[in-house]
Amino acid sequence: MADSETTLAVEATDVHKRFGSLEVLKGISLSAAKGDVVSIIGASGSGKSTFLRCLNFLEVPDGGRIRIGGEDISADDRIDKKRIQALRRHVAMVFQSFNLWPHRTVLENVTEVPVHVQSVPKAEAVSRAERYLKRVGLADKKDVYPSFLSGGQQQRVAIARALATEPDVMLFDEPTSALDPELVGEVLGVMRGLADEGRTMLVVTHEMEFARDVSSQVVFLHQGTIAEAGPPAEFFSAPKTDACKKFLERVL
């Protein structure tokens, strides 16, 4: 097997997506090796969420190709549910709004997908869930319903839920944007820990300090294209395009 085959975790090639007459992604190509943390930044409406959603086929791309965890789906292929499910087994997503199931306890939220989608035996799923809840600092909340938790705690449960599916790649879509400022740190702290563990993460974020300190690569999306990308030191110290300079002036 070629070296790139063994180290590549995600490869998106020339991904296109339109909604009616609105062309949202105009050919996005991006790859991440195992253990990479890619921060995706850009103005609201630039296509960041749509791109993440295309990676796990929550949106079906109109063109291009996605390779994740040995699965390889081209938009030209017949869209085959089984192959999409196979690809999704390698990916877990954390949303801005947590998306926990309100009528399930924390533990049930974390065991749901392993038990009902991945056919993990119940006892094993429970011990996995307990391990990951401990990992995010919430072992004592397992029998609580989400509405009794703070936003920061809910997002940490969502991260434990993602971890419990044991994905090859974790996608985060503005995981701290819905949080009160004093709760942002606890979630970023968990994410920094995951990066240190060598997990492959694609993170849409407005947290520039996180992007600078934690990422292996920063990608700037502008009007549906990658206007600029590079290692954070270079990216932040010497932005090349006007769009990127203007964006960084606004957010830094």
Answer whether 188's CB lies under 8 Å from 156's CB: no
Please, what sign has the CA dihedral across residues 115, 118, 119, 124? negative
Residue 141: in which H helix or E strand, if any? none
Q: Strand 63-68 to strand 71-74: parallel, antiparallel, or no bridges (unpaired)?
A: antiparallel
Q: Does 39 bind Mg ion (CB under 5 A)?
A: no
Residue 17's SS3 state is strand
Site track 2-31 with ligand ADP (rule: CB under 6 A), x = hit = -----------------x--x-x-------
Of 8, 30, 48, 155, the one binding ligand ADP (CB under 6 A) is 48
**Partner touching 232 among ligand ADP, Mg ion, none, CB below 5 to 8 Å by kind:** none
Distance CA 89, CA 99 (A): 18
Point out which span in 38-46, 175-183, 192-200, 206-214 binds ligand ADP (CB under 6 A).
38-46
Q: Does 205 bind Mg ion (CB under 5 A)?
A: no
Pick out residues in 69-128 that bind ligand ADP (CB under 6 A): none
**Partner touching 176 among Mg ion, ligand ADP, none, CB below 5 to 8 Å by kind:** none
DSSP type of residue 147: G
Burial class, 142, CB count within 10 angstroms (exposed 0-12 / middle 13-18 / buried 19+): buried
> What count of other Cβ atoms lies within 10 Å of the Cβ of residue 199?
19
Pick out residues in 41-60 that bind Mg ion (CB under 5 A): 48-49
Give the binding-site size for ligand ADP (rule: CB under 6 A). Answer: 11
Residues contributing to the site for ligand ADP (CB under 6 A):
19, 22, 24, 42, 44-50
Residues contributing to the site for Mg ion (CB under 5 A):
48-49
